Amino acid sequence: MGGKKIKLDRSDLMVAFQSLLEAYGSQGWWPGETAFEVMIGAILTQNTAWQNVEKAINNLKQAGVFSETALLAALDGEVAQLIRPSGYFNIKADRLKQFCGFLQKQGGEDALRELETIKLRELLLSVKGVGPETADDMLLYAFQRPVFVIDAYTRRIFSRLGMVAGDEPYEVLRAGFESALGPDVDLFNEYHALIVCHAKYFCNTKPKCSGCSLASQCTIP
DNA sequence: ACCCAGGGTCATA
DNA sequence: TATGACCATGGG
């Protein structure tokens, strides 16, 4: 037997959450003015620093290529050059177009909003270039659905806290967090943002956050 | 010069 | 199921 089990319960997770919230404050995610911008950003930020994504988004806006129809009408090469700062620009240009084609085919985001979360998630995952984390970013931050986003930081931090092994399949961890916390859009929103904030500034390669602003009272690895 | 970033796809065993 | 190669710019 000996299967490493997940030990996620609400009280432990809330202690960690409060600790992060007190240290960094409310993050106000997602950085984006519209649901469309959130979704485009979710694709562009795949394995990429957000700072570079902002440049790409600004380029698209400035070129007037920041809408479903404009992106579909633009040439592949043009989109690729505009999003160059975000890396993987050829692949991501195709992913943006694939996604806009999907939006058009589905009748726009208003039509998607009518769907149940499970069905919407399946549809998003059916788009080439949209994997589980990207889909969940969209569900949580563009559609306000109670979906807990799992990323590499989440795996590392809660693995260090001894709550998970860290190498569980994506769906196992997502179900674990959602089950322990219960559906709560605002909590999931703030929690994921705080995890990224904490990891980004203090726990990139360090085993412990020695330079963490939580200092000696830091209980978050 | 090296490492990593708010991942995902595809081929292979 | 589970690795590995690949995609590519920019900041530390």
Q: List the structure tokens of A139.
A: 């569900």
- Residue A1 maps to a domain: no
Rounded, the Å distance between the CA of A129 and C1' of B12 is: 21
Instruction: Give the CATH number, domain containing residue A99.
Output: 1.10.340.30
A163 within some domain:
yes
Burial class of residue A114 (count of CB atoms within 10 Å of its CB; 0-12, 13-18, 19+): exposed
**How high is the mean pLDDT of chain A?**
91
- Summarize the confidence of residues A18-23 as an average pLDDT: 92
Q: Quickly tell me which residue has 């409310």 as its tokens.
A: A26
- Tell me: do A111 and A162 sit in the same domain: no
Q: Are residues A173 and A121 in the same domain?
A: no
Q: Tell me: do A47 and A132 sit in the same domain.
A: yes
Give the N- to C-terminal CA distance of chain A in Å, as an integer.
29
A30, A129 in Cβ contact below 8 A? no
For tokens 């904030």, what's the residue?
A: A197
CA distances, A209 to each of A63, A157, A158 (Å): 41, 11, 14
Question: Element (H or E) spanning A133, and its range?
Answer: helix A132-141
Residue identified by tokens 């795949």 is A46
Nearest partner of A99 among A58, A55, A59, A43, judged by Cα:
A43
Do A17 and A68 sit in the same domain of this protein? no
pLDDT digits (tens, 9 = 90+) for A34-65: 999 999 999 999 999 999 999 999 999 999 99
Residue A11 has pLDDT above 50, yes or no: yes
Peptide bond into A29 cis (omega under 30): no
| One domain for residues A127 and A154 | no
pLDDT in tens, A146-177: 999 999 999 999 998 999 999 999 999 999 99
Quote the CA–CA distance of A200 and A215 in Å, as a whole number. 16
A153 CA – C3 C1', rounded, Å: 21
A48 touches strand B (CB under 7 A): yes
The protein footprint on chain C, as nucleotides within 7 A of a CB, is: 1-3, 7-11
Distances (CA, A) of A184 to A188, A215, A220: 6, 29, 22
Asked if the Cβ of residue A162 lies within 7 A of any atom of strand C, the reply is no
Among candidate residues A106, A141, A176, the one where a domain is terminated:
A141
Q: Encoding tokens for residue A201?
A: 């500034």
Question: Does a structural domain hold residue A109?
Answer: yes
pLDDT for position A85: 98
Q: Which nucleotides of B are covered by protein (CB under 7 A)?
A: 3-10
pTM: 0.94
Q: Is the CB of A46 under 7 A from strand C?
A: no
User: How many structural domains are present in chain A?
Assistant: 2
Is strand C within 7 Å of residue A170 (CB)? Answer: no
Which amino acid, A210? S
A70 in a structural domain: yes
Q: How far apart are CA A117 and CA A98, in angstroms?
A: 21
Count of helices and strands (H, E) across chain A: 12, 0
Does some domain include residue A2?
no
A82, A106, A141 - which closes a domain: A141
Domain limit, last residue, from A141, A166, A200: A141
pLDDT, one tens digit per residue, over A118-153 is 999 999 999 999 999 999 999 999 999 999 999 999
Tell me, yes or no, whether A119 and A157 share the same domain: no
Residues A113 and A178 in one domain: no
Domain identity same for A116 and A201: no
CA A95 vs CA A46, A47, A89, A205: distances in Å: 11, 14, 10, 30
Please indicate, yes or no, whether residues A137 and A39 belong to a single structural domain of this protein.
yes
A174 assigned to some structural domain: yes
Q: Judge whether A180 and A148 are in contact, CB under 8 Å.
A: no
Residue A198 lies in a domain: yes
On the question of pLDDT at A209 being above 90, the answer is no
Query: How far in angstroms lies nucleotide B10's C1' from the CA of residue A128?
Result: 12
- Name the nucleotide with the smallest C1'–CA separation from A51: C10
pLDDT on residue A201: 65
Residue A211 belongs to domain spanning: 10-28+150-217
Which amino acid would we find at residue A16?
Answer: A
Is A83 inside a domain boundary? yes
